[in-house]
A and B are shown apart, each in its own frame.
Chain A
Amino acid sequence: MVSAISLQSAVAVAGRFPVLAGVDLNLEEGTVCAVLGANGAGKTSLLRLLAGLTALERGAGTVLGADLTKNTSGLRANVGLMGHGVGLYEELLPRENLAFMIKAARLDPSGIPEALDRVGIRGRIAATPVGQLSAGQQRRVVLASLVARRPRLWLLDEPHASLDAQARDLVGSVLEEAAAGGATVVATSHEPDIVIPLADVVVTMAGGVVTERYAGGRMGLSDVS
C-alpha cells in the first residue's frame, strides 16, 4: 500500500497559539479515517494542514507525496476540502459554481449535471443562486463539487452537520464510493455513531495531538497499522 498521509510531530500555529501540538498520523491510500474529539481539539486544524492551507511550523509531513515543509501549491489541486464555511460564490448558480471549480482543475465539466442530480440539487433549486439556498442545500452543492472533481484526498469537516437523514445516508454512500475508487478520506465528527461504521481507522484528538487510534467498522478493510 502507498502512504497517503504521514505526519511526524507536526506543529501548526494560528497567530501564536499552537493549534496542532505534535501530531503523528500515518494513513495509506484508499483509507477512510474518522477523526473524533471535543471542540478545540485540533480536528479542523489537522484538515487545514493536510490541505496545505496551514504551514507546518515544526515537525515533518508528506501528503500524497508532497512535502509539507516545502511549497504545497501542487498538493492543493489534488485535495477536496468540505469545511465549516461553505466556500461557494453566493451570486452564482450551483451549476456555475461547479463549472468554475471543474474548469479550474482542468477536468471534464460534462459530469456536473450528474453530480448535482446525485446530491438532489434539481429543478428550482438548481436554478437558484447559492446564496439563497438553505445551509443544508449549500452543503449538498459542496458535496456535489467533490463528486464531480474526484480528488485523491477528501477532507471533510463535520460532513454530517446541518444535513437531514436522507443527506446523511448520501454522505455515507458518496464516501464509500470515493474510497472504493482509491481516494483517501479524512472526516471529522462529533458523532461517533455515524462515522465509526464508515471508517477503516478511527483516531481521537485532544489538546492538539492524536491520543488514540483504533479500527473502525468499514467492511472489507481493517486497520493495518
Chain B
Amino acid sequence: MRKQLDRWLGPLAFVLVALDVWLGLWITPPDQVQGDYVRLVYVHPAVAWVALYVAFGMAGLCSVLYLWPRTRSLAFDYAAAAAVEVGVVFTILTCITGAIWGRPTWGVWWTWDARLTSTALLAVMFLGYLALRRVPAEPHVRARRCAVMALVAAVDVPIVHFSVNWWNTLHQGATVLNANLSPRIHGSMAWTLLLSFIAFTLLFVWMVIARYRLEVLRHSGENKDLDRALSERRAEGAEA
C-alpha cells in the first residue's frame, strides 16, 4: 500500500497539474469580462489554498503535537519544518500569480489590499521560522523554539488579518479583490477549478512527504554516527 502510494503519488500529482494546465489554457472558455486573464483562476486560488490553509495549518498542528508532552516526537518537528518549507514556496507562488493577475486587472503589481498584505506578512514570518531552523542548536532545543514560533505566528495571523482588513477598508472603502474576482463559474470552468485544488494539494502532499523523508534520513545518519562516535570516545580512555 505504502509502496504503491510512493510510486504513484508524484506522477499522479504531475499528471493532474498537466491536465489542469491543458483544461485551463485550451478547453475552458475565456471570461466575458476578464477575457483570458480569468485562466489564472485555475492556478492562483488553489496555490493560495495550499499555502495559507493546508501548509500552515499542518505546521501549526504539528507544532502543537510536538509541544504536547504526550505526543512529543521529533517526527512532528520534521513534519512542521517540511510543511513550512514547501508552504513558503507556495506562498511566494501565490504572491507571484496574484501579481500577474493584478497587473492587467488593477493596473498595478501590488496593492495594499488586506489579503495581499497579510499574506506577505505571513510569508515573512515563516521565512523567519526557516531562519530560526538554521540556528545551530540541539535537535530538541531547536524543535521547541521552532514549534513555539510557529504557534505564535499562527496565532498572530488572525490578528494581522483583522487589523489589516480594518486598516485598509477604513482607509479606502471596499476591497478591490472581491469586486472583480467573481467570474461566473459553470460547466468546464467549475470542474477545472475543482481539479486545480486537488492537483495542487496532491503536489503539496508529495513534496512534503519527500522533504520529510529527507529529514528522517538525515537524522538516521546521525544515529549511526553516534554508535561509531561512542566507540571512538571510549577508545580515547583506553589510550590514556
Residues of chain A at the chain B interface (Cβ within 8 Å): 11, 13, 15-19, 21-22, 38, 40-41, 55, 57, 205-209, 211
CB contact list, B185-240 vs A, under 8 A:
222, 225-226, 229-230, 233-240
What is the bound-complex CA distance between A41 and B237, given in angstroms? 8
Provide the residues of chain A in CB contact with B237, threshold 8 Å.
21, 41, 205-209, 211
What is the bound-complex CA distance between A15 and B137, given in angstroms? 7
Contact of B229 among A18, A55, A209 (CB under 8 A): A18
Provide the residues of chain A in CB contact with B235, threshold 8 Å.
207
Provide the residues of chain A in CB contact with B236, threshold 8 Å.
40, 206-208
- 26 A-B pairs within 8 Å (CB atoms) are namely A11-B230, A13-B226, A16-B226, A17-B229, A18-B226, A18-B229, A19-B233, A21-B233, A21-B234, A22-B230, A22-B234, A38-B240, A40-B236, A41-B237, A55-B138, A57-B226, A205-B237, A206-B237, A206-B238, A207-B235, A207-B237, A207-B238, A207-B239, A208-B236, A209-B234, A209-B237
- Number of A-B residue pairs having CB atoms within 8 Å of each other in the complex: 47
Provide the residues of chain A in CB contact with B225, threshold 8 Å.
16
What is the bound-complex CA distance between A15 and B234, given in angstroms? 17
CB contact list, B15-40 vs A, under 8 A:
none
Asked whether B234 lies within 8 Å of A208 as measured between CB atoms, the reply is: yes
Secondary structure at the A interface, as helix, strand, loop or mixed, is strand
Provide the residues of chain A in CB contact with B138, threshold 8 Å.
15, 55
In the assembled complex, B140 has its CB within 8 A of some CB on chain A: yes
What is the bound-complex CA distance between A22 and B238, given in angstroms? 14
What is the bound-complex CA distance between A11 and B240, given in angstroms? 20
